[in-house]
Amino acid sequence: MSVETVKYVPSTIGVNTERQKPRVTDKFHYRIAVKEDQPEILECVLTGFLNTDSHALALKLTRTEAHELVRWFVERSLHTPYSVMVYDKSTRKLAGIRLYSVIHRDQTKDFEPFKLDYASMADNVRIWYNLTDKQQNKIWSLRLEVQKTLHHEITFVDPAFQRQGIAQHFINLLNIKQ
């Protein structure tokens, strides 16, 4: 009686054996956004995000009206290491951004890049700001033990790069410990 060598063959049940799509990281380069990226991110939000975001469109936000508030969001986000930029590897074009800041229950601990002049904001900009502010304040009544949290400011994927897994990969990058 002879002993046969058994070769392990992984199961292909439930596996797509046809040619696989390239992984999102094969096509795109993700990196942490830094303060020096502020002009590029600001331009991306003012020209891309404002022209595609449902709230911005409904409120008819213009680049001029929203400039100071957008700059405030961008600068606040770049104060922490949680904002990400993604570039197309072949064209080196900015394909998307995800901006996060850190907020505290004790708002005196929050980073404010500059004082917003709420009174001089156009009504539609004030409404947009209030939408994000109300959203951020809900956490404090829901979770009394939480003292600080990651706050989503803006996520944008350029329409030319949508449906390629970029936003899903942004979610996967949220590997944050308390």
Q: Which residue has the higher pLDDT, 78 or 143?
A: 78
Q: pLDDT (tens digit, 9 = 90+) per residue, 74-131?
A: 999 999 999 999 999 889 999 999 999 998 888 888 888 778 888 888 999 999 988 8
pLDDT for residue 21: 54
Question: What pLDDT sits at residue 150?
Answer: 86
Tell me the pTM.
0.77
- Parse the chain into domains and list their residue ranges: 24-172
- The per-residue pLDDT for range 12-64, each reduced to its tens digit, is 444 444 544 556 668 888 889 999 999 999 999 999 999 999 999 999 999 99
pLDDT at 64: 94
Q: Which pLDDT score is estimated for 11?
A: 41
Mean pLDDT, residues 1-20 taken together: 45
Would you say 33 and 83 are in contact if contact means Cβ atoms under 8 Å apart?
yes
**CATH number for the domain formed by residue range(s) 24-172:** 3.40.630.30
pLDDT for 134 beyond 70? no
CA separation, residue 115 to residues 4, 41, 125 (Å): 77, 20, 15
Q: Are 79 and 129 in contact (CB under 8 A)?
A: no
- Residue 10: predicted pLDDT: 44
Q: Which 3-state string (H, E, C) describes the chain?
A: CCCCCCCCCCCCCCCCCCCCCCCHHHHEEEEECCHHHHHHHHHHHHHCHHHCCHHHHHCCCCHHHHHHHHHHHHHHHCCCCCCEEEEECCCCCEEEEEEEEEEECCHHHCCCCCCCCHHHCCHHHHHHHHHHHHHHHHHHHHCCCCCEEEEEEEEEECHHHCCCCHHHHHHHCCCCCC
